[in-house]
Chains A and B, each alone.
Chain A
Amino acid sequence: MKKEGLLNKTWFRYILNAACILLLFGLISILVSSGVVNRYQAMILIPVGYNIILATSLNLATGFLGQLPLGHAGFMSVGGYASALFSMAVDWPAAIEFPVALLIGGLVAAVFGMIIGLPALRLKGDYLAIITLGFGEIIRVIILNLKFTGGAFGLRGIENHTTLTSTFVWVVISLFVIFALIKSRHGRAIIAIRENEIATESVGISTTYYKMVAFSVSAFFAGIAGGLCAHYLTLLNAGDFGFMRSVEILVMVVLGGMGSIIGSVVAAIVLTLLPELLRGFSEYRLIIYSLLLVIMMIFRPSGLFGRYDFSLSNSLLKIKGKITNSSRKKGATHHES
């Protein structure tokens, strides 16, 4: 086992986490290349990946900032179309073209986030929900009626760039950026707004500015996810980014726990895989899916993880403490609130 103090060292925690991420990636690659996970299953992992990005980015606006935007699919579609149109217009090597396309998608979505956020964030709660919902629908209708977006036929012939590797990399980047932002003075300001807006202003923090920051970072990653989605499906249809898509993402956030990054990740994985796993039940699968959500909300209204966030090193320290304290076996389970 590791030495006592090592787990408390910040640099060691970072290395440990990086090692685990590499290990996870290695594991997935081996499972895919050896054929344990078949091609169909491997392809499902890509939507799992961009749904993780969507859920965590929405969580920034919902769980951390404490607002309730309902237009996340709108930002996703803006990002998706922007990056798809870019990659169709230029003819660069994929290794450069694809990341640039995704960044453009993210930036365009972030700009839209700011444009919408400026008026919308003056409102609160249900008013904000309705105005963002309206925005999502406006985006959808505009895309449906524009020439260069392919209109009702959808945008076809997008190059297939999204691979399991690139999805994995972008998931890691998104999670790290959101995590790093949250655990900084800027992230604390965002959380403070959720806790008490008047008090946040009173200690000298501009709530308008940080609402905009959270909102546009959230939109940025929705745009990235949109780009991944576009280059995975190779065709975009405005109808896929309607109100229901926004609700789906919101359900992931609520189910995982508002304000918990690990919660969003787990919920995104479960809720993406579940409909696939339930395919065997054909017409009953939507009923089972909805029932699960209802049961979940009855027994754990704060979501799977509440506000708890997972830390590998802390968990290891806890397990170690349990082993040394009680002479029981290592049936260490976490009792987090």
Chain B
Amino acid sequence: MNHESVQNNSAYILDVTNLGIDFGGLQALDDFNIQVKDREIVGLIGPNGAGKTTIFNLLTSVYQPSRGNIQVTGRSTKGKTPHEVSQFGIARTFQNIRLFKNISVIDNVKIALHNGMKYSMLSAILRLPSYWREEKAATKLALELLAVFNMQDLADQPAGSLPYGAQRRLEIVRALATNPKVLLLDEPAAGMNPSETAELMSTIRDIRDQFNMAIVLIEHDMSLVMGICERILVLNYGLIIAQGTPEEIKNSPVVIEAYLGQQRGE
């Protein structure tokens, strides 16, 4: 089947078909398919180097795929730049945190509110009423978003001075500020302790309910993945080796083999 030219307005928020990418001679990802419905939480797991982050980079146009088709809210991302794809309604966090470290927490969020504001450069330089009005509204909204993680008191701190867990949470807030329909979380619980992870789990659910968005997450912490994902895809060497409910994945021999290796029958 060739989905290359399909431009249907599918019911899915995220519709990926036959996606693949090669780095030189290495096939990093092949024949990857995923359909994500509104308000769904999907987990993406797999051993290191399986191609999970590569998928996020493809979905956000950081890489251009070698094969296949990606549709975000019904629009093809082919040939689009990352910032254009972001405006389609997809937002992400990064495995290795990429905050704007030297500027304040609130400005980190306000940078992501950039496209929510409309005033021109001239209104900014002349300090016209539209500047004051929109800046005030953006500050208020940024504080509200920070409040999702109880971070409103940290608003004036430089983002780089926050503890590791708080930096991860700030990345999620920043992603939320772009008002996405799909949120991609790359190892949101990395470096968090069990109680922080448990808290993050309930917050992720809250975010889905409060902001009505689909969430795709990569995570190694199985308690989190099994706890909140409605559907899980398992990846190994760039191929989907299993998918299903958490219960099915837990008991899948293929998955156990990918993680632990084959049992040697001597």
Instruction: Evaluate contact between B83 and A180: CB separation under 8 angstroms.
Output: no
Residues of B within 8 A of A202 (CB): 60, 62, 82-83, 86, 91-92, 94, 98
Can you offer 19 A-B residue contacts whose CB atoms are under 8 A? A180-B127, A184-B131, A187-B124, A188-B110, A188-B111, A192-B100, A195-B100, A195-B102, A195-B103, A198-B62, A199-B174, A202-B86, A202-B98, A203-B175, A204-B83, A204-B87, A204-B115, A206-B83, A213-B121
Instruction: Evaluate contact between A307 and B127: CB separation under 8 angstroms.
Output: no
Instruction: Evaluate contact between A307 and B102: CB separation under 8 angstroms.
Output: yes
> B residues 134-186 with Cβ under 8 Å of A?
134-135, 138, 174-175, 177-178
A203-B111, A203-B112, A207-B83 given as contacts; is B124 within 8 A of A181 (CB)?
yes
> A residues 97-152 with Cβ under 8 Å of B?
none
Picked from B83, B107, B125, B126, the residue with its CB within 8 Å of the CB of A201 is B83
Kindly state whether residue B114 has any CB partner on chain A within 8 Å: yes
Instruction: Evaluate contact between A203 and B125: CB separation under 8 angstroms.
Output: no
Closest to A192 in B: B111
Kindly state whether residue A191 has any CB partner on chain B within 8 Å: yes
Kindly state whether residue B101 has any CB partner on chain A within 8 Å: yes
Residues of A within 8 A of B237 (CB): none
- Bound-complex Cα distance A204 to B174 (A): 11
Instruction: Evaluate contact between A203 and B121: CB separation under 8 angstroms.
Output: no
- Determine which residue in A10, A180, A187, A213 has the highest number of CB atoms from chain B within 10 A of its CB, and name it: A180
Picked from A180, A187, A196, A206, the residue with its CB within 8 Å of the CB of B98 is A196
Picked from A184, A192, A201, A307, the residue with its CB within 8 Å of the CB of B124 is A184
Residues of A within 8 A of B11 (CB): none
Task: Give A contacts to B, CB under 8 Å.
Answer: 10, 177, 180-181, 184-189, 191-192, 195-196, 198-207, 213, 307
Residues of A within 8 A of B135 (CB): 184-185
Instruction: Evaluate contact between B94 and A199: CB separation under 8 angstroms.
Output: yes
- Bound-complex Cα distance A10 to B63 (A): 44
Residues of B within 8 A of A192 (CB): 100, 103, 111
> B residues 81-122 with Cβ under 8 Å of A?
81-83, 86-87, 91-92, 94, 98-103, 107, 110-115, 117, 119, 121
- Bound-complex Cα distance A200 to B177 (A): 13
Closest to B124 in A: A184
- Bound-complex Cα distance A188 to B174 (A): 14
Q: Please give the distance in Å from B119's CB to the nearest CB on chain A.
A: 7
- Determine which residue in B99, B101, B121 has the highest number of CB atoms from chain A within 10 A of its CB, and name it: B121
Picked from A185, A196, A307, the residue with its CB within 8 Å of the CB of B114 is A185
Instruction: Evaluate contact between B124 and A204: CB separation under 8 angstroms.
Output: no
Q: Please give the distance in Å from A37's CB to the nearest CB on chain B.
A: 33
- Bound-complex Cα distance A192 to B128 (A): 24
Closest to A337 in B: B158
A185-B119, A186-B121, A206-B81 given as contacts; is B127 within 8 A of A200 (CB)?
no
Instruction: Evaluate contact between A203 and B91: CB separation under 8 angstroms.
Output: yes
Q: Please give the distance in Å from A203's CB to the nearest CB on chain B.
A: 4
Residues of A within 8 A of B107 (CB): 188, 191
Residues of A within 8 A of B131 (CB): 184
Instruction: Evaluate contact between A200 and B111: CB separation under 8 angstroms.
Output: yes
Residues of A within 8 A of B124 (CB): 180-181, 184-187
- Bound-complex Cα distance A147 to B112 (A): 51
Q: Given A185-B134, A203-B86, A204-B87, 20 more contacts at CB 8 Å?
A: A10-B132, A177-B125, A180-B126, A180-B127, A181-B121, A181-B125, A184-B119, A185-B119, A185-B124, A185-B135, A187-B124, A189-B114, A191-B100, A191-B107, A192-B103, A192-B111, A195-B101, A198-B94, A203-B111, A213-B121
Instruction: Evaluate contact between A205 and B102: CB separation under 8 angstroms.
Output: no
A180-B124, A198-B62 given as contacts; is B103 within 8 A of A203 (CB)?
no
